[in-house]
Structures are given as structure tokens and as C-alpha cells.
Amino acid sequence: MKGFKAYSGNEASVLNYIISKFLKLSKLHGFKTVHLPLVEEVELYLRTSGEASDVCNKELFEVHRYGDKSRGWVLRPEGTAGCMQMVKEQSLMQDNHELRLAYHGPMFRYNRPQAGRYRQFSQLGWEYIGVSDYHSDFEVIKACVDFLKDLNIDFEIEINSICDSNDRKNYRKELKEFYNLDDSQDPLKVLDKAENFDNVPKMKINEKDRNHFEGLKVLLEKSGIKFTINPFLVRGLDYYNSTVFEFKSKLRESQGSLLGGGRYDYLMEQIGGKHTPAIGFSIGLERLLLEFNQEIENDLVVIASLDAPDFALKVADDLRKEGTACVIWKGTDLSKILKKAVSSKIKRVAIAGEKEEKAGKVVWKELSF
């Protein structure tokens, strides 16, 4: 089906590898994985993403009861709003001064399918909730740097401050006049898709956000993280404020955004909760797949059972108890098993035939290819 892709073979292995790296990174930073529902009320995204946003106007997959055409449910288009909804509904901040939550799973947007951009796509994300200082901004950005470096992906970083809602309201007026827009057009959305920024006015940053942004820049510079300030980086969703950032591919311009995020200090209030500052990011897994060029080592062990299937089962059980992944391949011709292992890029074969059973030990064969 157009826009919905199934993954197998090496692509599936790469996706699993990236997710495992993400989960390891999350654990190292104290982020606990949560599991969010696939279906949410449409009102959640109208209130948080903005009714004028592309997400709400063009990209939502609506879900209806049979015969009921009323607008009510949608397949989730992103993870942040649903995550904050969960925090509110389950009162997770009641006994915590901060929360570190991670998630991964499929999202749905009705886009025109392109390379790395599908109607069902996988997203990895962090939500660091209850923190408002620029040190938390730095920690999140630094973790993204470490993650992409661990995957050997080349990237560049753009950052900006989009201040608070009052500043953006004034900036919208200024952009509206500059672009000569009517009331149906959102100036920030026009800016987000613009390619030419000649003479475009820049947002005026208030003192509080300027000090916050300067503090972040100092920490990034001290740690040796290179970045570019892009005064026209605004992100596509209404709930962002203050710090925003985007990691872009050095290999491609088209579909070159690898991950992005920023602060959303007022999102909880938008869904009826108490003021709760937060910062987060999301990663499009399919975008990383386009960039990934490592050879994933196959650590699977093949047990050649030959003429001793019962012994092979015992060897497999012992290896699995030790934490070694293995499979049994039956056959009487060892050369064919070894040839198949080489073609499958399997490096180790345990020979477990009748001769080895009598000796009480397997013979290991290290393969090269």
C-alpha cells in the first residue's frame, strides 16, 4: 500500500540496531520508556499543534466507528502531545519534580510518499519534563550529538530561540506585512517553508530568552559542539517556545532533517494541566536509515547438527543459557552448511555431530568472507 512500507532482511536489522542504540542511550541518561496509544482524540492535536498547522489541516488519519463520520479520533501523528496527555491523566508529576520519558513506535501522517518519508513512519523521542534551565537544553542536544556519532552519521546543527507566545504574536504581524499575507495564512508556516530569506525580518528576542539562549550557546561552545544559529528556524508545531534545534544531514539536502526538537513550556497548560516546562526531541527512523552505512555484525551462531540432532538441541540450549543467539541447521554435508553460513555472513559455526557428541564437546569453525 502506497506510503506504508514493510521492512525485512538487512533493513529490518538496521532499524532494530538503531532502536537498540536509542534504548541504550535512554537508559544511560535515566529516561524510562513509555508506551503510548496509537489512537488519540483529534482535539489533542487541534489544541497543541495548532488548527492552522499542516498536521491538523492536511496530514491527520481520522478514525471513525462504522457509519459514524463525526470527527473524533485520529492515528497519532507525533509523540509529544500524547506523552504530555499521559503525564496529565496519570498525575505523573504529582510525586516527581522532573520526568525523563522515552518512546518509540509508528506515527501516521498523510504526506506524499518520498524517500525517507512515508505515511506510516517510526519515531524515537525524548520528553524531559519539569525542567526550565538551559542546562537541560544542553543535555538533550548533547545526547543527540552522541547518538548520531555512535551511528557514524555526519550532521550539522542549527539552533534558534523563538521566545514566548507574545513575541511570536508580534513577529507574526511583522511577517504578515512583509509577505503581504491574508488572515487564512500563518506567517510562521510560510517562513518555515521559505527558501529565500533576503530582507526577511528577524524575531526580536526578549531579555529572559536571550539570557537563556546565551547560556546554552556557552555550554555548547565549551563542549566543542559546532552549531549554526538560524534566526529563521521556527519548527512546524505551535507548542514550541524558546530554544528550538534541528540536526541536518551533511549528505543530502532533500529530506535532510534527521531530528529536531525544542522547548514546549506551555503545552501542558494547552491541554488543561498546570504549567510544566519541558524540552524534547524526535527522530525519524526512516531518515536515519538513508544515512546509515555501517556493516552490522551478525553475531548469530549456527549449530551444524549433522547426524546428532539430540546433541545439537542440548548445545543450543547451553549456548542460549549463556546469552548466545544460535540456530540449528540440519544436514549431513558440512561443506554445504559452511557455504550457506558464509553467504549469510555468519562468522561462527559449532559442529555438533555424532563424533563431537562422543567426545563430549563441539568443534568451532571460524569463518571469513
Give CA–CA dist 286/106, Å, rounded.
11
Name the DSSP class of 231: T
| Sequence ranges of the domains in the chain | 9-163+205-291, 301-366
Q: Which pLDDT belongs to residue 151? A: 94
Residues in contact with 255: Cβ distance below 8 Å, sequence separation at least 6, in sequence order: 114, 115, 116, 117, 287, 290
pTM above 0.85, yes or no: yes
Structural contact between residues 126 and 100, judged by C-beta atoms closer than 8 angstroms: yes
Selected from 3.30.930.10, 3.40.50.970, 3.40.190.10, 3.20.20.70, the CATH number assigned to the domain covering 9-163+205-291 reads: 3.30.930.10
CATH architecture designation of domain 301-366: 3-Layer(aba) Sandwich (3.40)
Tell me the angle at which helices 134-150 and 207-222 cross, rounded to the nearest 10 degrees.
40
Closest CA to 331 of 349, 308, 350: 308
Q: How many CB atoms lie within 10 A of CB 273?
A: 16
Spatial strand order of the sheet with 120-129 comes to 32-33, 99-108, 120-129, 278-284, 257-263, 241-249, 155-161, 228-229
Torsion of CA 121, 98, 166, 41, to 10 degrees: 40
Residue burial 157-181, b: 16+ Cβ < 10 Å; e: rest: bbbbbbbeeebbeebbeebbeeeee
Q: Which pLDDT belongs to residue 48? A: 67
Closest CA to 247 of 280, 283, 218, 279: 283
Q: Which pLDDT belongs to residue 323? A: 95
Q: Which pLDDT belongs to residue 51? A: 52
Structural contact between residues 92 and 110, judged by C-beta atoms closer than 8 angstroms: no
Length of the chain, please? 369
The secondary structure of 282-326 as a DSSP string is EEEHHHHHHH--PPPP--PEEEE-TT-HHHHHHHHHHHHHTT--E
At residue 31, the 3 state secondary structure works out as coil
Looking from the CA of 218 toward its CB, the CA atoms found within 13 Å total 8
Q: Which pLDDT belongs to residue 190? A: 80
Max CA separation in the chain (angstroms): 88
At residue 186, the 3 state secondary structure works out as coil
Distance of CA 101 to the CA centre of its chain: 13
CA end-to-end span of the chain: 37
Torsion of CA 221, 142, 28, 283, to 10 degrees: 180
Give CA–CA dist 292/241, Å, rounded.
31
Q: Cα 102–54–237 angle (5° rounding)?
A: 45
Which ranges of the chain have pLDDT less than 50?
Answer: 52, 56
